[in-house]
Structure formats: structure tokens, C-alpha cells
Amino acid sequence: MSLACGLPLLECVYCLACARWAWKRCLHTGEADSATWGLASAADFEPVPRMCRLVMANYEPDLSASAPLLFAPPGGYGIDPACVLRRRTYADTRGRVTPYLLYLDHEHADIVLALRGLNLVKESDYALLLDNRLGKRRFDGGYVHNGLLRAAGWVLDAECDLLRDLLERYPDYTLTFTGHSLGAGIAAMLTMVIVLNLDKLGNVDRSRTRCYAMAPARCMSLNLAVRYADVINSVVLQDDFLPRTATPLEDIFKSILCLPCLLCLRCLRDTCIPEDAMLKDPRRLYAPGRIYHIVERKMCRCGRFPPVVKTAVPVDGRFEHIVLSCNATADHAIVWIEREAQKALDLMLEEEETMAVPSEQRMERNETLQREHVEEHRAALRRAVTLSVPDARAPSPYGTFDDDAAGRRPQQQQQPERSESFPPAGARQRMSWNDLIERVFDKDADGQIVLRSSVFS
């Protein structure tokens, strides 16, 4: 009898929770995620449309000058086919990674490795996404997506020698990894592994390495997402669903037959669990690095507005909720990202020309913005520690890794991140990149550096 009386009460609680969740989601818009962020500058955002076009070039069957371009945006890809040093297709990668190309950009002094996004008809891409479970892969004091990390290891095994030769031949060029969707996650993993092992590419400086991840999947824990914000940049168009999808991708694909049940459970979970509890979950994955948010629509307004680009290194409120919008999937397309990013950049450049800012003042402004980005990154690291984000580290005088304030031995100032994370170079000459990834050091309960012993499953 008591059980029968309790059932209506449980139904009321369930209905109220669902109603509260639906009310909050209906009022939540994409522009609200970056309402408090600052505006991006044209100098910072300039590479984004160009990187989008390089990613889109992967979809062309033939990039030679004599072949017709099937998917080119207005104005073309803006690349010299003779400078495409290498192209890898699914046949070349055997499904280990999405197709990619290596482009030598002399005009912008850049060496770019661009990966395409998910192919909906390729089983190997789904297998790559499903090669993960919550908390499966621990890396550099945090958690990452196992399948994406393995794909990054395969790319570096195949292209390490060529990348090292190019960096030695062009010492003033930067090394840029970029990708879209699934490829964006792999590009972020590539950047992390490279930064932890810079001597394998000829002792290049950390500042020469960067990443632009277009519409990335959540691929790393919050402490890593903030720590690597100086080299990894994520680009999100308005209401894009993927960077906001906290539900593990493997759960979505495995629960297609019972997706409504999964969504109901997630509904209750998002309603009942406070955000600070989510921040303290060390296995929860996030979009990586600094985020550039392209905003082009407003609440209760029809049509598209001139795009505005907001940027920040957020810790809390880092795209935690999916936006209920008819554009949530369209905003994920690389075609729309490239189009709106180019519009936003053109508006920034037009505004600078209208203001007629002298070149000297423009250079000074760019230097000031770089200093502001460094300080913003350090502030994000401190906030992560303040919010008790698991394994978050306060900024050090030598970069974004541990300092010696705790009384331990001082670090080597020239290469703090490499000396902590990988064995000496002499012991690694015959090791693959996946072997190196497996040997990344972690910290024990006392904060001491210890060698990992796990292997790929």
C-alpha cells in the first residue's frame, strides 16, 4: 500500500525535473555561452579561415592545377598544389586515422598538417570514436580520448621524419596542426604529444607549435584543456552540438535503439548534479584549449547577423549544455564554419582600415594582446586550482607546468616539460610514438613523478 502511494509522488518529481530541464534548455542560447568573453582580434583570428580551407581540401579527389575542384569555397582553397607535400587517403592509413595532407605554406611561413572530419560511411571512423570509455586513457596527469590519442601516434610515426626535416630546413616557420570534428580531436592530441616531446623534432621551441581545432569533439579533461590553451585553439560556430555533447560518444552510438531512455537519464543528471560536481569529475572530457566562439544569431531574432568572434580560456561554463536549436547540426559543418569565419575576419579587417590605425600602433596592439592572452591563460590556470579541478596545476615561471615552490628539486629552465614527461632521447631512438605515449610519466599521491606501466588495450 505504501509503495502504491509513493508512485504518484515519484512521477511528480520526475515530471518536475524534466519540466525544469526543458525550461532551462529552451531559454539557453548559444550566444549566452560567451556573453562575458572578450572580442578576438584580426591578427589572432586570421589563420582560422585559411585552416578551414586546408581541411576542406582533403575532400577533393585531385588537387592538381589541371583538375576541376568539386568542393572549393568561393575564391578557391588559396593553396599551391605544388606545395602539398603529402596526401594520405583511407587506403594509405588503413582506417587508423582520417585522411590528411601536409602543406608547406611559404606565404605565411607555416607547415600545416590538416585532417578531415568524420566520414559517415566509413566504419573505421566509428571504430576510432568508439575506442574509448570514460576514464580509459590517462595521459600527462589527465584523461584523453583513447582512440584519438592512438590515431595521433600513428600520424607521428608516419610523418615525424618529414616534419623534422621541414622544421630544420625552415627554422622561421611555425608547425600547425588543424582538423575538423574527429580530425580536430586528433590534431589536439598531436599537439599535446609534440609539445611533450619537442626534442624528437629537433628541439623546436614550444611557441612554434600550435593547433586550430574546428568544431572539436570533447577529447581531454579540464585540467589538460586549460593547461594547453597556449598552443591549442578551438573554433566553435554558434550552436554547434559536438563541443557541447558531454554524453560520451560511445554511449550515443551504442544506445541508438534506446536513445530516448539515455536522454531522459541525462536530463535528470544535468538537472540534479550541480556544475561544481561536474568540474571535480576528473574523467569528464571537454573541448580543448582556448576557444573562439563565432556568434551570428541572437535570441528571438530571425536571420543571421554580422558574425562576431568572442574568445577566452574558460574554466567553468565551458560549453556545458546543448543548445536546442535547428542549427545545432548545421553549425557543425566545415563549410559554414569557413564561410562565417571569413565574414568575421573581413569585418575585423574592415574596421581596422576604417579606423586607419598606423602600422606601428597596430604592432604595439598585437603585442599587448599577446601579453593579455598569456595573463588570461595564467588566470585560467589559477582559477582551475581555485575551483579544485582535479590535477590542475598553478602556473610556473617556466610555462604551464609545475614550479619548484613545493620545495622539490628545481626544474631545468630550458626544457621543463620534456624532462618531466619522457625518457632521455638516447633511449628513444628505436621507439615508436605510441611507445612514447605509453611511457608518459604520471604523478603519484605524493606528487612525485613516476613512470606509467599501463599499455594499450
The tens digit of pLDDT for each residue in 273-289 reads 667 777 788 888 999 99
In a domain, 408, yes or no: no
What range defines the domain where residue 62 resides? 12-387
What is the rounded distance in angstroms from the CA atom of residue 212 to the CA atom of residue 249? 22
Pairing mode, strands 441-443 and 449-451: antiparallel
C-alpha to C-alpha distances, 310 to 36, 235, 336, nearest whole angstrom: 9, 10, 17
Say how far apart CA 14 and CA 267 lie, in whole Å: 10
Model confidence at 410, in pLDDT bands (50, 70, 90)? Answer: very low
Q: What percent of the chain has pLDDT over 90?
A: 49
Average pLDDT over every residue of 308-320: 91
Q: 434-437, long-range: CB within 8 Å, 24+ apart, which pairs?
A: 434/150, 434/153, 434/154, 434/157, 436/153, 436/193, 436/197, 436/200, 437/139, 437/149, 437/152, 437/153, 437/193
Answer whether residue 297 is part of any domain.
yes
Q: What is the DSSP string of 255-270?
A: TGGGHHHHHHHHHHHH
How does the average pLDDT of the chain come out, rounded? 81
- Domain membership flag for residue 395: no
Q: Which residues of 274-298 are buried (b: 16+ CB within 10 A; e: fewer)?
A: eeeebbebbebbbbbbbbbbbbbbe
pLDDT greater at residue 136 or residue 237: 237
Q: Strands 290-295 and 232-237, how do they pair?
A: parallel
For residue 407, is pLDDT > 80?
no
* CA 209, 211, 421, 99 torsion-angle sign: negative
Q: Is 7 inside any structural domain?
A: no
- CB contact set of 444 (below 8 Å; sequence gap of 6+): 450
Give the pLDDT of residue 117.
Answer: 94
In a domain, 428, yes or no: no
Q: By C-alpha distance, which of 61, 97, 105, 62 is closest to 80?
A: 105
Name the band, by pLDDT with cuts 50, 70 and 90, for residue 167.
Answer: very high
Whether 37 maps to a domain, the answer reads: yes
**Poorest-confidence range of 107-121, 298-312, 426-440?**
426-440
What are the φ and ψ backbone dihedral angles of 444, each rounded to 5 degrees? -85, -170
Average pLDDT over residues 11-24: 71
Residue 398 vs residue 85, higher pLDDT: 85
Partners of 180 in beta bridges: 214
Residue 266 has pLDDT above 70, yes or no: no
- pLDDT tens digits, residue range 334-392? 999 999 999 999 999 998 888 776 777 777 878 888 899 999 999 999 999 998 898 88
Give me the pLDDT at residue 280, please: 80
pTM of the predicted protein model: 0.82
**Average pLDDT for residues 428-437, to the nearest whole number?**
63
pLDDT at 103 over 80: yes
Q: What is the mean pLDDT of residues 225-254?
A: 82
Report the distance separating Cα 165 and Cα 55, nearest Å: 23
Contact 260, 307 (CB under 8 A): no
Q: Domain count of the chain?
A: 1
Per-residue pLDDT band at 193 (split at 50, 70, 90): very high
What does the block give as the cell for 56? 576542406
Query: What is the average pLDDT across 51-64?
Result: 95
pLDDT band per the 50, 70, 90 thresholds, residue 272: low
Is residue 430 one of the residues assigned to a domain? no
All cell numbers assigned to 269: 543528471
In a domain, 2, yes or no: no
Rg (alpha carbons) of the chain, rounded to whole number: 23
- Write the CATH number for 186: 3.40.50.1820
